């Protein structure tokens, strides 16, 4: 019985974590791809440009999560990024981790 409980708890953890796992699908679902693309600049920078710019910066993840959640301006030109109220903190963190992993 204990083994089944452990397997069940493990499975719940895996499913819970996969809900916030980011990919291009999550970016599309949250309307991020209306202004961004993976490879080329649109209204906002390409995600690969973001990954390159912030590579190796220890505070990059936290800074970018704040920008996803609350918006920002001045880093990539005069166009402001609006706040994204439809994105939860966990989703924002997962999106940022995915973006920063792009090469």
Annotated binding site for heme c: 32, 36, 81
Neighbours of 32 (CB within 10 A): 21
Query: If we measure between CA atoms, which residue out of 47, 41, 52, 48 comes closest to residue 27?
Result: 47
Cite the annotated binding site by residue number.
32, 36, 81
Alpha-carbon span 48 to 45, nearest angstrom:
8
């Amino acid at each position: 019985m204990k083994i089944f409980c452990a397997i069940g708890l493990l499975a719940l953890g895996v499913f819970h974590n996969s809900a916030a796992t980011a990919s291009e699908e999550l970016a599309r679902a949250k309307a991020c791809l209306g202004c961004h693309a993976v490879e080329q600049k649109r209204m906002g920078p390409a995600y690969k440009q973001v990954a390159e710019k912030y590579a190796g910066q220890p505070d990059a993840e936290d800074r970018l999560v704040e920008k996803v959640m609350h918006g920002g301006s001045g880093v990539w030109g005069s166009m402001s990024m609006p706040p994204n109220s439809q994105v939860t903190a966990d989703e924002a963190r997962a999106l940022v981790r995915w973006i920063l992993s792009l090469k």
